[in-house]
């Protein structure tokens, strides 16, 4: 009788334990939802100075498309934050260095552009540190910001970012510029729908994880997006000039490059 009574409970545990683990792993990824994020987690959404817009690009560097964005930004007199993939930096270190030389900021987008459906905290930590070291090797200093691929912040990635002394930042507006049907007009229109003073705009300087040649729509939209912001009295720049004082990675996480390096795995 006792064994029979226990059997259903054991079976329930066997069923529910994996579900609980999956919820603990993926639950924080609900921060991907833009409405709740903007309302309840403004720092994660990238809210900053009300007279400023943070211009950010994901997925590079790319030897073909990224230099064209650098030229366009030079012509517009704008600097930005590039969330780079560590694997791409390893393949294109000269492009990454040129991005920094032209006054832009490099931040961490992970090592590869993958979706973390299964829990793997050890892998998350290793790959995040590996990407951060790739950025540090190019810039000469430890990076400040982290944006996971697809904006999916699992519990493992939250923990890895904290250990690495990186501040997670997502976005308040995007251009939806990764789709095969994106045009300069659609990118501009989509970005304008949610972009306000103090916001962070997500764009892409490469089609590494997007539809082929989709970056051309972004490049074509860039002058108009900049003009729209300036017409509204908003300055554009990197996240380094966007966040308020005291919101750097060390202030938020308690980690510094020294302690982060010591915790690398």
Active site residues: 58, 204
Q: Prior bond to 61 cis, omega within 30?
A: yes
The alpha helices in 41-114, defined as continuous H runs, are 42-45, 66-76, 86-91, 93-101
Select from 142, 135, 137 the least CA-distant residue to 163: 142
| Total residue length of the chain | 265
Kindly write down the DSSP assignment for every residue of 162-216, as one continuous string. Answer: HHHT-EE---SEE--TTSTT--HHHHHHHHHHH--TT-EEEEES--TTSSTTTHH
Residue 43: burial class (beta carbons within 10 Å; 0-12, 13-18, 19+): middle
Q: Judge contact between 205 and 65, C-beta under 8 A.
A: yes
């Amino acid at each position: 009788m006792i064994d029979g009574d226990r059997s259903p409970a054991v079976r329930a545990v066997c069923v529910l334990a994996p579900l609980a683990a999956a919820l603990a792993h993926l639950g924080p990824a609900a921060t991907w939802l833009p409405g709740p994020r903007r309302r309840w987690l403004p720092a994660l959404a990238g809210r900053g100075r009300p007279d400023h817009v943070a211009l950010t690009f994901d997925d590079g560097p790319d030897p073909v498309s990224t230099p064209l964005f650098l030229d366009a930004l030079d012509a517009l007199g704008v600097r930005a934050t590039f969330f780079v993939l560590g694997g791409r930096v390893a393949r294109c270190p000269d492009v990454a260095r040129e991005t920094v030389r032209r006054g832009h900021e490099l931040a961490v987008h992970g090592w590869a552009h993958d979706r973390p459906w299964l829990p793997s905290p050890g892998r998350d930590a290793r790959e995040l540190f590996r990407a951060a070291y790739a950025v540090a090797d190019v810039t000469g200093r430890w990076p400040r910001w982290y944006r996971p691929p697809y904006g999916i912040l699992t519990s493992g990635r939250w923990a890895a970012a904290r250990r690495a002394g990186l501040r997670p930042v997502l976005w308040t507006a995007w251009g939806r510029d990764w789709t095969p049907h994106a045009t300069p007009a659609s990118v501009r229109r989509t970005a304008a729908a949610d972009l306000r003073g103090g916001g962070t705009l997500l764009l892409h300087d490469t089609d590494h994880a997007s539809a082929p040649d989709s970056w051309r729509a972004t490049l074509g939209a860039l002058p108009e997006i900049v003009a729209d912001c300036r017409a509204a009295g908003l300055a554009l720049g990197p996240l380094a000039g966007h966040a308020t004082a005291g919101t750097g990675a060390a202030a938020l996480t308690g980690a510094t490059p020294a302690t982060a390096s010591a915790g690398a795995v």
